[in-house]
Amino acid sequence: MKLALDPQMFYATHAVHELPDVVAGLGYDWMELSPKEDFVPFFRYPRVDDSGVRRLRRAAADAGVGIASVLPVQRWSGPDEGQRQAAVRAWKRAIQITVDLGVEVMNSEFNGRPEDAELAESQFMRSMDELLPLFEREGIKLVLEPHPDDFIEGGRAGVDMVRGLNREWISFLYCTPHTFHQGNDATRIITGAAEKLSYVHLADTLDHTADHGLRYIVNPPGSTARVHQHAEIGRGEVDFDEIFAALAAVGFDGVLSSCVFGWEDQAREISVRQREKTVALVARHFGADRAAAVTSNKIDL
């Protein structure tokens, strides 16, 4: 099992090649590279050249930090065919970057529009037809997650699609801050995924469905906007003991990644507490030996 940090809260203040030192200083041995403006931005072509990739790889090695995954988010399931082709082009470059970094895992979202899920699935499969041979040739594993406002939002539907893709190297990501968008059914989703579950994003959120949906008020009434948070564990209503008990029951041995966004003024303190809380949950549900295995020996700054 690996414990990683998505250092997104440091993106505004640090270049991508500076992140490994930040991650190491917070006591993590692994980091997740989510979309970043000077690396692989949201919905656009990557912004890093080969020398930048080599610099990042050296920085990670010098810091003693492994890169758990590279996470592009592109419109590979979008209704506009030009945008879909651009997304595939960006994906091809992102795959090459991942290979050159010496990383074996990429994770992403289904994308597409929930109001036209049939078209989105068709576009997604068209993109898969182009990219599957490249993933296989380069030996890159792909991890997919349902996301609020994607053509697949439910956890069980996401697991079904992963299984339907019928590739041993394609697996499922359970995102805890999306718990209430996925169906608020963590145990059944995790149990259903079982051996296909290889990655978990860790952050908390409030249950937007509670109290007749009045936890969040979005105007105008009837808006289809999706709302959630990526808060520190303990600031929301996600049942992490349920989730970790289910993970232990299926023998989870993948990546646990802290993914808190939106508290940049407390980024260091929250990242350290996220590590401590995650290790405690692993100890409680997997045992002390497993917890020791994910605990870094680095000293906090």
- Each residue's pLDDT, cut to its tens digit, for the chain (301 residues) gives 999 999 999 999 999 999 999 999 999 999 999 999 999 999 999 999 999 999 999 999 999 999 999 999 999 999 999 999 999 999 999 999 999 999 999 999 999 999 999 999 999 999 999 999 999 999 999 999 999 989 999 999 999 999 999 999 999 999 999 999 888 999 999 999 999 999 999 999 998 788 777 777 788 877 888 888 889 999 999 999 999 999 999 999 999 999 999 999 999 999 999 999 999 999 999 999 999 888 755 433 3
Q: Which two tokens stand for residue 206?
A: 């409030």
Instruction: Please report which residue ranges of 26-75 form alpha helices under DSSP H.
Output: 50-63
**Cross-strand bridge partners of residue 202:** 258
Distance in angstroms (rounded) separating the CA atoms of residues 172 and 210 = 27
Which whole-number Å values give the CA distances from 29 to 11, 93, 204, 294, in the listed order? Answer: 18, 26, 22, 8
Reduced to 3 states (helix: H, G, I; strand: E, B; else coil), residue 9 is helix
User: What pTM does this model have?
Assistant: 0.94
Whether 2 and 254 have beta carbons less than 8 Å apart is answered as yes
Query: Where do the domains of the chain lie, and which CATH numbers do they carry?
Result: 2-294 (3.20.20.150)
Return all residues near 92 (Cβ < 8 A) that are at least 6 apart. 131, 134
